[in-house]
Structure 1
Amino acid sequence: MLTNPVYAALTGPHAGFAEVRGNARRYPPAVAPFLALPDDPTPQDWADAAVLLGPGTTAALMRPEFPIPDGFKLDLHIDLVQFVAPADLPAEDPEAVRLGPDDVPEMLALVALTDPGPFRTRTIELGTYLGIRREGELIAMAGTRFALPDHTEISAVCTHPSYQGQGLGTRLIRAVAAHITAAGRTPMLHTSGGNTNAIRLYNSLGFTVTNRMKVTLLQAL
């Protein structure tokens, strides 16, 4: 399941979010830009995916690299590293506050400043998001995105540039991990293969590399 996390989520705990045609699944675009297919997609699965997306629509696949068939245009491949958290990672943080729908405009502004990965107007619906505020301003956040049967992904870890280097991201990763483990799941996360600072941080926190994959951005023709 960890090698095909979006499909595991959309056929499992996040099935209620799934837009479905045949074996193809996708999140609503306002929630997340991800498409999912079975481990070994058939020509019919790809045909269903094309109809599900619609002509000219771009979506992201997260899984090991594989050939893209006719009917789709490859926009971009991004190397991705998947990590699973150690048992001693979780730690609640008294300064971390639960973020809700009213906080989304500030969350989107913080994401625009820091580019931690896709975060859209309804992404907050996928799980628990925590933030740290200073003088009322949201300066750091992290939350949960893909929910698999046994794992939950930590995502959208970002800190305002004026407050970076203070360990806020680490504190929020630990706090989000505490929410995940309290629900009986194992925390996991993904980062770009070229993000050496993030990889160094996750290694220092005891995360274990479980898979090296690709994010494939493709467009239905």
Structure 2
Amino acid sequence: MEHVLDNPIYYALTSGHSHISKGTDEVKYYIEDITAFAGLKDNSQENLNTLYKISPPESLFVFFSTTPVEIPGQWKLLNQINMFQFVFRNKEIPKTGATGITDLDLQHVTEMINLVELTKPGPFLAKTIELSNYTGIFTEGKLAAMAGHRFFPSPYREVSAVCTHPDHLGKGYAYKILQEQIKRILLRAEIPFLHVRNDNDGAIKLYRKLGFEIRTDMMAYVIRKEA
């Protein structure tokens, strides 16, 4: 039987995020403006063709796979990103407090989008914040670092949008925010996981230090619907 983390987007859209999904039983995608991810029961040509038929014009999607996928011709392949999938293996809940960490809400979305565009941790849209638990650190009134939750293939909860403004690297902000994210997930009896580019050595070192371990290789395909 397939493990839910082998296909985290599909299982998120059929469990923890079923209320914000569109599509069919085998082909799912998030409501527009929340995030640009699609999850297929299997990454077959048939299901990619179905996604093309049922999605809006000029749609752009990201989907994950543990194995290489041939992209049908009606889709334009924009990028393929090779990643590691990490899972948090420790059971001990971090005891650090939330001093200096701010819960982010709709009033912060513009700053969040600007930080994401600068640091490129992954797609972040106008309503991505609805995926919940975004937290940040502000320096001199400006957002310096943030992270939040994304996929929820129950009981696993993904930590995502981990980013720090270049002017504030090396100050331990990411470590502090990640500890808070881990704590919140564990207190709900869920299991933290995340994805990172397999060439991002700095982030990989940080995640290992926090208690994450590599579970598997993962590929992200970025595709756009051609007219």
Q: How many residue pairs end up in the alignment?
A: 220
Q: 167-176 or 102-111, which moves further after superposition?
A: 102-111
SS for the counterpart of 1:158 is: strand
Q: CA deviation at 1:76?
A: 1.8
Counterpart position of 2:188: 183
Counterpart position of 1:68: 71
Find the aligned partners of 1:114 and 1:76 in 2 and give their Cα distance: 17
Q: CA deviation at 1:54?
A: 4.0
SS for the counterpart of 2:42 is: coil
Find the aligned partners of 2:39 and 2:108 in 1 and give their Cα distance: 29
Find the aligned partners of 1:107 and 1:37 in 2 and give their Cα distance: 29
SS for the counterpart of 1:31 is: coil
Q: CA deviation at 1:92?
A: 3.6
Find the aligned partners of 1:141 and 1:56 in 2 and give their Cα distance: 30
Q: Pick the aligned partner of 2:98 from 93, 100, 103.
A: 93
SS for the counterpart of 2:72 is: coil
Identity of aligned residues (%): 33
Letter of the 1:169 counterpart: A
Letter of the 1:107 counterpart: M
Counterpart position of 1:198: 203
2:45 and 2:72 in contact (8 A); partners too = no
Q: 116-125 or 83-92, which moves further after superposition?
A: 83-92
1:92 and 1:174 in contact (8 A); partners too = no
Q: 97-106 or 83-92, which moves further after superposition?
A: 83-92
Q: 144-153 or 63-72, which moves further after superposition?
A: 63-72
**What is the TM-score of this pair, normalised by structure 2?**
0.90
Counterpart position of 1:17: 20
Q: Gaps spanning 5+ residues in structure 2: where?
A: none
Find the aligned partners of 1:37 and 1:181 in 2 and give their Cα distance: 28
Q: 147-156 or 48-57, which moves further after superposition?
A: 48-57
Find the aligned partners of 2:224 and 2:110 in 1 and give their Cα distance: 28
Instruction: Confirm whether residue 81 of structure 1 aligns to residue 84 of structure 2.
Output: yes
Distance 1:108 1:166, change over 3 A: same
SS for the counterpart of 2:154 is: coil
**1:158-183 deviations in Å (ceiling 9; x for gaps):** 11221110110011001011111111
Counterpart position of 2:129: 124
1:5 and 1:63 in contact (8 A); partners too = no
Letter of the 1:6 counterpart: I
Counterpart position of 1:53: 55
Distance 1:103 1:41, change over 3 A: same
Find the aligned partners of 2:184 and 2:166 in 1 and give their Cα distance: 26
Q: 63-72 or 211-220, which moves further after superposition?
A: 63-72
Q: Gaps spanning 5+ residues in structure 1: where?
A: none
**What is the TM-score of this pair, normalised by structure 1?**
0.92
1:92 and 1:178 in contact (8 A); partners too = no
CA RMSD of aligned residues (A): 1.8
Instruction: Confirm whether residue 165 of structure 1 aligns to residue 170 of structure 2.
Output: yes
Instruction: Confirm whether residue 153 of structure 1 aligns to residue 158 of structure 2.
Output: yes
Q: CA deviation at 1:27?
A: 1.0
**1:102-124 deviations in Å (ceiling 9; x for gaps):** 11111112112222211111110
Letter of the 1:84 counterpart: V
**1:168-220 deviations in Å (ceiling 9; x for gaps):** 00110010111111111011110111212111221222211011010011233
Find the aligned partners of 2:173 and 2:34 in 1 and give their Cα distance: 25
Matches within 5 A, 1:134-149: 134-149=139-154
Q: Pick the aligned partner of 2:215 from 206, 210, 213.
A: 210
